[in-house]
Chain A
Amino acid sequence: MSAPGKTSPHAAMSQDVHARPGQSAHAPTGTAKVLLALLRKELLVELRTLESIPGMSLFAVTTFVVFHFALNQDTVSGQEAAGILWVSLLFAAMLGINRLFVADADQGGFDGFLLAPVDRTSLLVAKAIALLAYLFVLELIAVPAFGLLLLGPPLGQALPGLLAPLALGDIGVAAIGTLVAALAVRTRARDLLGPLLALPLLVPIVIGCARATGPLLQATRPGGPPLRWLGTLALYDLVFGLIAYAVFDFLLED
């Protein structure tokens, strides 16, 4: 139970978004409208506080530096490069996942949302889209930084092929990350439980993404992303998207 009566900018804002003039308080509002309002609130909070994206990006770039020293290599290529890229992105994503619901749990955002006569699943979708946006910005910074700092073969030729694994990986991370973040946030040890829950669930995504990316980053005659892995990733994303959709309601009952 988050303490009622405690007001904060977050709570005030989420209340404000739900109670905009022109919206009837009784009739359930349209799903698209609710989604847009929730998404707007998420992005607005992130833009004003800058809690997640800068930290995630900085973390990813720092991880590349750490890998440089840990491996004692100036450039990497092939499967090794794919592994370093995905491990860094995944751990950076974990920072965002851990923070995803913290403001809602601590500052009354959940209470504000539950008071609104809207479908609860819309919060899952809005949060997942917000996380997807964070991941997109993270990769906008981290992938060029990776090409600059560590990658041996030029990034330009691999970039078109990278888009599909990155997009499929992001969708999976967003779906699983949002579910896990919601599971962990109202427990006593949430900072510990979030990554512990998320990492095993994300192992198949790492397998798929790293295998799909490896051939693209080869120094000699790079190939396209193997379609088998993209298919596996898409299937995994779909299954976990559906599972998150099915069980998310039960996390928001009190």
Chain B
Amino acid sequence: MRISLRALSIATVLALCVSLSLVFFYAPIEAEEGFLQKIFYLHVPLAIVTLCGFVIGGLCAIAHLRTRDQRWDLRSYVAIHMSLIFGVAVLITGSIWARGSWGHWWVWSEPTLVSFLIVMLLYATYQPLRFAIEDPERQARYASVFAITAGAFVPMNFLAVRLSASYLHPRVLGSSSNLPAPMAFTFLVSIVAIALLFATLCAYELAAKRTRILLKARSRILGYQS
């Protein structure tokens, strides 16, 4: 466990260094937006990783309901918790980008940003729901039901919001398919780096949570014995 955490941390730091160097020294300056476009390499990977994290949380919740193994619930909780933190970063970087390129901190005509806000508003209720239930077993069960429902909501919501704004201008930087090669390469490295960061932080939180559970169990045993 400790070795893999250390290896993961080193890999993450290396990947982040490589991706940031690529972003600032290798990727060309975009013609229309200039230096500001660099935030794309942070914002979009963060958003992709966040949404994947929410969906992974839902999948872990399915595994929890199937196996009734509390470890799956712990994984689901950690994935959603970390995604919430990453999601705040997505909203902040998205806002900065919108301010820079369109002049407003918030634009309703950008469907991805709007759907992201709705998803965040839904997931913001995950912890209030979870910790409003005292019984640990029911807490895990209800949280899993929420995680599955919300995980399915993510793609549906994106579909609905995207449909509602289909009159929108064509999106230039939406997909990596029409990017020039150096930009696409930088973008891919950035995704890998951010995904590694997500995995590492999740691994740390999982380790901390497991240790705390173990500690509680041990101290309970000791408490009974003395």
Show the binding face of A for B, using Cβ within 8 Å: 1, 179, 183-184, 186-190, 192-193, 196-197, 199-201, 203-204, 207-208, 211, 228, 232, 236, 239-240, 243-244, 246-247, 250-251, 253-254
Contacts and interface: CB of A to CB of B under 8 A. Distances in A.
B142 to A, nearest CB: 6
Nearest to A242: B152
A243 B132 contact: no
A228 B163 contact: yes
B128 A250 contact: no
Contacts of B163: 207, 228, 232
Nearest to B139: A187
Interface residues of B, number: 30
A243 B149 contact: yes
B135 interface: yes
Given A189-B132, A197-B129, A239-B156, A253 B141 contact: yes
14 contacts: A179-B149, A187-B133, A190-B132, A193-B125, A197-B129, A200-B118, A200-B119, A201-B122, A211-B164, A232-B163, A236-B160, A247-B149, A250-B65, A251-B142
A61 to B, nearest CB: 28
Which DSSP category, helix, strand, loop or mixed, fits chain B's interface? helix
Contacts, number: 86
Contacts of A254: 135, 137-138
Nearest to A192: B128
B144 interface: yes
A239 B164 CA distance: 19
B148 interface: yes
B157 A203 contact: yes
A188 B134 CA distance: 8
B164 A207 contact: yes
Contact of A183 (B118, B129, B153, B159): B129
A219 B23 CA distance: 53
Identify whether the interface residues of A are mostly helix, strand, loop, or mixed.
helix
Interface in B9-63: none
B144 A250 contact: yes
B118 A187 contact: no
Given A200-B121, A200-B122, A184 B129 contact: yes
A207 B157 CA distance: 10
A186 B137 CA distance: 13
B82 interface: no
Interface in B93-125: 118-119, 121-122, 125
Contacts of A200: 118-119, 121-122, 125, 153
Contacts of B156: 204, 236, 239-240
A196 B145 contact: no
A30 to B, nearest CB: 27
Contacts of B134: 188
A203 B215 CA distance: 43
